[in-house]
Chain A
Amino acid sequence: MPFDGDLILRLFETIPGRYSIQGTFYSIIAVIIINSIRRSWNINSPVILQRLHFVSIIMPPLTIPLYYLLNPSRNSPEWRLRSLIDIESLLSIEYAGINAGMVMLFLMIITALIFFLQEIIPVIKNITMTKREEEKRIVKTFYINFFDQKHEVKIIEDEEYIIFSSTGIRPSIYISTGLINDLSEEELDAALAHEAAHILRSKRPLLIAVFIFRVMMFFNPVVLIEFRKAVQEEEKICDRMALKITGNPAVFMSVLKRFIREGNEKSGSFNESSHNLLIKERLEELSRVPKKSSDFLGYESSTEEPEDTGILPLTLAIISTGVINYFIV
């Protein structure tokens, strides 16, 4: 046998091992609870959905030390026998010489690799190389006012459709000449407002805190998925913020449709089809926005009751996740 199953189980017995495996199980429970809250309350608001995804990212690393503070003998045999789930016993289930612990470790290694290859390396590349390369191609810089703030817009010489924003001390919006030439004035406003919304929201301490927790849980496959879902909700939130300025969902939808990559869906790459899927999801969300709403960010637009602000589902998510996870060790 290439791996010693017991050795892996012992690895999960160490403090970092226990922290990572318990964190992963706690995220799974959080996601199950969040999904049942979503279904019960019929939640479609991106703001509430994003906060619910945050619960599954933030709660596990925060509650583990809290649980040990409340009950220092959590790992005692007595507590393990009384618990709802004894993770160690579950991980020792074996089939054909492979135990569940090996499968979990494999999943965690793959998740860590995806995190470094798809998230960390591109971010570093973006900060260092891409920005520097794009700076060389800038043909014009101008300023626009959105959300009571002045934003720097840099036009890049490129026929492709490019639009993105950089964050940090001096945030800027980058847009290609190709996209500017193809968009109407109203559409350009919508696209720039969306990027301005990203810049505005990137300064929020909650988003920064969530990112720190996400990095801490780099090995957690559930956090990987939940963080990506939260990022997608972020796009939808920025869409709605931009709508507050432009006031016309149809204009915004026409901008988004330009970013759908043409080609055969079956033969297209995984990246391409997932990119298109995310755009289509945003288009679907925009089609749900009421045409004459005074506040497009309104939490209530997709829920049945106007007074439903999301506080109750969020509180329930936190409490029930906290209580159930306490009995998993």
Chain B
Amino acid sequence: MKTKKGIRFAGSLLLLIVALIAIRYISGVLQKESLRTYKGIKELKKNFEGLIIPTYFPEFLKWPPSRIVAQKRAYRAIAIELKDKEDNIALVLTESEREDFRLQGLSIKESVETLSYDIKGRKAILRVGSCSPILKPAETQRCSDLTWKEGNYYINIIIRSGPFELLKIAESMIHN
């Protein structure tokens, strides 16, 4: 008897999970402007006007991006992730109306130096420190992070490398 009750409950729980997955799918079909993944830069450019993409990328990065996520609502936010030749996340570029929109794949764990930096007339904050690959948390590597405001959007670039390459990428994004 108890087993029968348990099976009945497990069945209804399964039904609930299936219904939630279906709701999630339907909401994705009905609402294309909320957070979702994009197949490539072309698709992204088609949906987001005035997208700021660097014209320079260091050679150790693999093209095309390993992941692109973006949303138009409730606020505009775009995140592009690139991997290196060893398949580690090596660069994350974020463009968002909110400063706290960040992918979790790459972040500075320990900051060594933070300084203000002028990048083609924009006031930027440069941080240099260490980060570790998600799959190898014990391994620490040098990382740099740069944030500045471009119109209404916060631009943030984090790279698994020193600040030299990072600044070159940032400069390639600003054309005026």
Q: Residues on A close to B: CB < 8 A?
A: 5-6, 9-10, 12-13, 29, 32-33, 36-37, 39-41, 73, 76-81, 83-86, 88-90, 92-94, 304-305, 312, 316, 320, 324, 328
Enumerate chain B residues within 8 angstroms of A89, measured Cβ to Cβ.
24, 27-28, 31, 34-35
A13 to B13, CA, bound (A): 29
Contact segment of B40-48, B57-65, B97-105, B151-159: B97-105
The range of chain B's interface size is 35 or more
3 shortest A-B CB distances, which residue pairs? A9-B74, A89-B34, A36-B12
Enumerate chain B residues within 8 angstroms of A77, measured Cβ to Cβ.
35, 69, 77, 79, 101-103
Question: Shortest CB–CB separation between residue B74 and chain A, in angstroms?
Answer: 3
Question: Shortest CB–CB separation between residue A75 and chain B, in angstroms?
Answer: 8
Interface contact B104-A73, CB-CB below 8 Å: yes
Q: Residues on B close to A: CB < 8 A?
A: 1-2, 5-6, 8-9, 12-13, 16-17, 20-21, 23-24, 27-28, 30-31, 33-37, 69, 73-75, 77, 79, 98, 101-105
Enumerate chain B residues within 8 angstroms of A36, measured Cβ to Cβ.
9, 12-13, 16
Known: A9-B73, A36-B16, A77-B35. A84 touches B103 (CB 8 A): no
Q: Choose one: B13, B73, B101; the contact of A320 (CB below 8 Å).
A: B13
Name the residue of chain B whose CB is nearest to the CB of A328. B20
Interface contact A80-B35, CB-CB below 8 Å: yes
Main secondary structure of the interface of B (DSSP, over half): mixed
Interface contact B17-A84, CB-CB below 8 Å: yes
Enumerate chain A residues within 8 angstroms of B21, measured Cβ to Cβ.
84
Main secondary structure of the interface of A (DSSP, over half): helix
Q: Choose one: A29, A39, A76, A86; the contact of B103 (CB below 8 Å).
A: A76
Interface contact A85-B9, CB-CB below 8 Å: no
Enumerate chain B residues within 8 angstroms of A76, measured Cβ to Cβ.
102-104
Enumerate chain B residues within 8 angstroms of A12, measured Cβ to Cβ.
74
A238 to B158, CA, bound (A): 63
A-B contact pairs, 14 of them (CB 8 A): A9-B73, A13-B74, A33-B13, A36-B12, A36-B13, A39-B8, A76-B104, A81-B36, A81-B69, A84-B20, A85-B23, A88-B34, A93-B27, A328-B20
Question: Shortest CB–CB separation between residue A308 and chain B, in angstroms?
Answer: 9
Interface contact B5-A40, CB-CB below 8 Å: yes
A161 to B16, CA, bound (A): 46
Enumerate chain A residues within 8 angstroms of B20, measured Cβ to Cβ.
84-85, 324, 328
Enumerate chain A residues within 8 angstroms of B74, measured Cβ to Cβ.
6, 9-10, 12-13, 88, 92
| A40-B9, A86-B24, A320-B13 known, 6 other contacts, Cβ within 8 Å | A36-B13, A36-B16, A81-B35, A86-B35, A88-B35, A89-B24
A76 to B103, CA, bound (A): 6
Enumerate chain B residues within 8 angstroms of A83, measured Cβ to Cβ.
24
Enumerate chain A residues within 8 angstroms of B37, measured Cβ to Cβ.
81
A305 to B27, CA, bound (A): 43
Name the residue of chain A whose CB is nearest to the CB of B20. A84
Name the residue of chain A whose CB is nearest to the CB of B67. A78
A280 to B103, CA, bound (A): 56
Enumerate chain A residues within 8 angstroms of B28, measured Cβ to Cβ.
89
Q: Choose one: A9, A37, A73, A93; the contact of B30 (CB below 8 Å).
A: A93
Interface contact A40-B8, CB-CB below 8 Å: yes
Could you say which of A37, A41, A88, A89 has the most chain B C-beta atoms within 10 Å of its C-beta?
A: A89
Interface contact B73-A6, CB-CB below 8 Å: yes
